[in-house]
Amino acid sequence: MINLLLFPIIIPFFFAMILMFFKEQVVVQRVLTLIGLALSLVASFWLIATVKTEGIQTVTLGSWPAPFGITMVSDMFSALLVTTTIIITIFVVIYSFSSIGVERERFFYYPAILFMITGINGAFTTGDIFNMFVFFEVLLIASYLLIVLGGEKRQLRESIKYILVNVISSAIFVIAVAYLYSIIGTLNMADISVKIAEINQPGIISVIAILFLIVFGIKGAIFPLYFWLPNSYAAPPIPILALFGALLTKVGVYAITRTYTLFFVHDIGFTHQFLMVLALLTIIAGCIGALAYFDLKQIIIYNIIIAVGVILFGVAQMNTSGLEGAVYYLLHDMLIKGALFVLIGIIIYATGTSNLREMGGLIKTHATLGWTYLIAAFGLAGIPPLSGFIGKVLITKGAFEADHVIGSIIILASSLVVLLSVIRIFIYAFWGPQKNELPVRDQRTYRQMMFPAIMLVLITVAYGVGAEWLMPYMTDAANVLADPSIYINAVLKE
């Protein structure tokens, strides 16, 4: 029972290794991938139930006592993130069957996805700061394969930038961990928190906190470190973009949230104020990008950047409402971005272009796609009772409680910009006269692509409408973030 929290990491890893032996058998790869993800999902739901009834689950590898061994920790925050990751991956994999192309599928596409999920779930679950670096590298190496898969010229050009930026950020990560270790003498995250409290966070620890913010900020795409993201994410095919957009930046956001609520908590006037300013600048930069482009992919990619800012603004408040909102909005954004990227992939498939100026009149031929997209767009913008609304309300409530009125106004104004950016896609693509002759497409393929899109949108609607039922889980997650002692006691068994 105690190793339950390792299952969502071990199962994808195990299936990824098996898939390496079936390079040419695409159907076998598809079936095994879905079986592996389904088993992981069952394990993660079971894990959420266990954490809810029995509290935080920990396992220290090699039976060493914490903080000497490598500890894996599953609190409600990480368990919810792990489950959401697996749900999105299942639907993106189903979408891939009809959209990625057999050539890419033959080239270790599914093993790469499963290795990436191993790294993501490991990063969410680890209780050791160096081990987090290791899991970051696992997911990055898999993402390097995915971003170049197919070898198109644009992919190869953008992948060089993507790999270079991530190699540099990984180097800074190791340096930051080394500095922290030289002062604190431990890598266990709960133990780091205790040791920093003992020395009352001197200035050098605040400097290290900013170093960590730079590292995770590059991965999470905060201002001004997001420069690499829009073009790099737009290069690979849509299913890979959906996985990157929904999951990869969120690992950076999670890492900032975990470190800034667990151990860099004694100099909030400096560290969290700095985080809040960067979060607001990130929102503004994302809003400008979302309105500036007429390319479907770029508009939704800049919406990723806006959401990163909104979530981190909630984290920076360091009060229960702000943290509850941040947790809720983080999960909402993962689901809604997965749905939206899949939907714009279908729009691009139907029209043969990603340029809004060349689209029009799709509502006559693809009505289901149009209305599904509109629901997802409203969810992203935070129209009640959809899921984006609840998270933003809680975050702004936390901001008002902390007397950050200007930040609240920026967040509410950003909702209008998000609404404008996604409604513009709807008006250009679905309304108005048809600009160009639509390419002839196979209706069966189109229906196969619509299934995961509709399912993801339905999940986001249920996530908003069922908020009352889900709030106890969000509160549990926020409580651990708001009160580090819960986490520390669970890990160090004090």
User: Which of 20-24, 131-135, 263-267 is the most confident on average?
Assistant: 131-135
Q: Where does the pLDDT of residue 1 fall: very low under 50, low under 70, confident under 90, or very high at 90 and above?
A: very low
Q: What is the pLDDT of residues 376-395, one digit of tens each?
A: 999 999 888 888 888 899 99
* Closest residue by Cα to residue 84 from 339, 389, 395, 418: 339
Q: Say what percent of the chain tops pLDDT 90.
A: 62
Calpha distance 390→459 (Å, rounded): 15
Q: Say what percent of the chain tops pLDDT 70.
A: 99
Pull the structure tokens for residue 74.
């599953």
pLDDT number for residue 112:
95
Please give the torsion angle defined by the CA atoms of residues 185, 188, 190 and 191, in that order, rounded to the nearest 10 degrees.
-30
Mean pLDDT, the chain, integer: 90
Q: What is the pLDDT of residues 285-338, one digit of tens each?
A: 999 999 999 999 999 999 999 999 999 999 998 889 999 999 999 999 999 999
pLDDT number for residue 116:
96
User: Which of 279-283, 404-408, 431-435 is the most confident on average?
Assistant: 279-283
19: how many CB neighbours lie within 10 A of its CB? 24
Instruction: Specify which residues 71 forms β-bridges with.
Output: 60
- The least confident of 17-21, 132-136, 262-266 is 262-266
Task: Please say if the pLDDT value at position 470 is more than 60.
Answer: yes
User: Averaged over 63-74, what is the pLDDT?
Assistant: 84
Task: Please say if the pLDDT value at position 120 is more than 90.
Answer: yes
Instruction: Specify which residues 135 forms β-bridges with.
Output: none
Amino acid identity of 474?
A: M
Q: Where does the pLDDT of residue 61 fall: very low under 50, low under 70, confident under 90, or very high at 90 and above?
A: confident
Pull the structure tokens for residue 456.
């993801």
Calpha distance 334→331 (Å, rounded): 5
pLDDT number for residue 494:
52
> If you count DSSP H runs as helices and E runs as strands, how many of each does the chain have, helices first?
22, 2
CB 113 within 8 Å of CB 129? no
Q: What is the pLDDT of residues 230-252, one digit of tens each?
A: 889 988 999 999 999 999 999 99
pLDDT number for residue 357:
86
pLDDT number for residue 2:
53
User: Averaged over 339-366, what is the pLDDT?
Assistant: 88
User: Averaged over 280-284, what is the pLDDT?
Assistant: 94
Q: Where does the pLDDT of residue 124 fall: very low under 50, low under 70, confident under 90, or very high at 90 and above?
A: very high
User: Averaged over 24-49, what is the pLDDT?
Assistant: 94
Q: What is the pLDDT of residues 76-99, one digit of tens each?
A: 999 999 999 999 999 999 999 988
Sign of the Cα pseudo-torsion (139, 52, 191, 208, in order): positive
